[in-house]
Structure 1
Amino acid sequence: MKKSLMLYLFILAILMNVFTYMFYSREAKFEQDRYDKTTKKLRDSINLVSTKLADADYFSLEHNENAQNYFDNSASGGKVILYEKLIPVVTEKLLDLNSNPKGNPYTGQDKIGPNKFIINKIKILNHRWIIADYSNGELWGEVLLKYFVDQDEKITFEVNQTWLYQK
């Protein structure tokens, strides 16, 4: 009886080891498959976001070589203007005009009510165009501006078109 009990316990131990081995080997395979699927999905998401970002930045001075070359006047004996330094200067100069008591004159809007119109966000599209978002806290709009940089690096703006959205 003792021998048969030992035999049954031995067979039971072997079966438990086989089942444990199968469980953990399949669990490892399942986890590896899940990891591979998640990694593939994340790579696809990163590629999609990168593509969307590249599409969104298509119209920007940072990614437009022709517009950047416009500021390289060294071939004609002029001065080279670095676009990396120009972008913050143009942005700062346009935003500094928000301190005007009547509002930023380049929104193309006169003061309506007690609040003045100020520019909130700016995107420099190329060597000539800027698009900006403006508001007075109640009304919102967008403006398309021309900007010019002369040889003395003086920056001037001109309102091309403005749009004020209805409430």
Structure 2
Amino acid sequence: MNAKKAKESYDGKIENLMATIAEKDKEIETKNLERDSLIDRVLELTYFSLESDEEAINYFEEQGYDAEKLELTISDQIIAQNKAGADNPIVPYAGMEGNMAINKVRLLNHKWIIADFTDGVYWGQLFIIYDVRKDGVVDFEVAQSFLYPRSQ
């Protein structure tokens, strides 16, 4: 009789443990799916970026530049033109509620940049063509810009 009760007790514990294992397996599977989904999302978001464009990286390396360092340098050059009391000269709009300043810069490849700017109330985006000359100087040309209308 004791053996039968002990077996039933062990069987119950085994069932509980099996249910716990199945639950944990589902959690792991869900987390793996979420991770894979996040990885896919990151790959999608970085598709148009210098860091994921092998041809653009090779272009700079053939000119003797480290693409990662150059990307930081170019971003810094654009943002460094934000000055207290003055609009960033790259932005083709005068600040209406403050000075126009560039907030975010993304190099898409070895020739194109997108940037976001604001004066604190109004904001917009720029499409910039850039060129790194042989002497290392970077030339910028705003090809397109857009200022969003102020929402009421």
What TM-score results when the alignment is normalised by the length of structure 1?
0.84
Pick from 43, 47, 51 the counterpart of residue 62 of structure 1: 51
Report the number of matched residues: 150
Pick from 90, 98, 108 the counterpart of residue 92 of structure 2: 108
The equivalent of 1:118 in structure 2 is: 101
Whether the 8 Å CA contact 2:105–2:114 is kept in 1: the answer is yes
The equivalent of 2:41 in structure 1 is: 52
Pick from 123, 142, 145 the counterpart of residue 140 of structure 1: 123
Pick from 18, 22, 44 the counterpart of residue 11 of structure 2: 22
Letter in 1 for 2:24: Y
* Distance in 2 (alpha carbons) for counterparts of 1:69 and 1:94: 23
The equivalent of 1:152 in structure 2 is: 135
What TM-score results when the alignment is normalised by the length of structure 2?
0.92
Residue pairs, 1:2-41, within 5 angstroms: 11=1, 13-41=2-30
* Distance in 2 (alpha carbons) for counterparts of 1:101 and 1:150: 30
* Distance in 2 (alpha carbons) for counterparts of 1:100 and 1:127: 30
Deviation at 1:15?
Answer: 4.9
* Distance in 1 (alpha carbons) for counterparts of 2:142 and 2:86: 16
> Alpha carbons of 1:149 and 1:100: their partners in 2 closer, same or farther (altered >3 Å)?
farther
Note the alpha carbon deviations across 1:107-153, whole angstroms, 9 max, x for none. Answer: 2211214x011011111100011101111111111111111111111
Q: Which entry has the higher C-alpha Rg, 1 or 2?
A: 1
Whether the 8 Å CA contact 1:108–1:143 is kept in 2: the answer is no
Give the SS at the match of 1:88. helix
Letter in 1 for 2:145: T
Pick from 54, 75, 89 the counterpart of residue 73 of structure 2: 89
* Distance in 1 (alpha carbons) for counterparts of 2:80 and 2:50: 21
Whether the 8 Å CA contact 1:111–1:117 is kept in 2: the answer is yes
RMSD: 1.4
Q: Post-superposition, which runs of at least 4 consecutive aligned residues in structure 1 deviate over 3 A?
A: 13-16
Whether the 8 Å CA contact 1:135–1:141 is kept in 2: the answer is yes
Name the % identity: 28
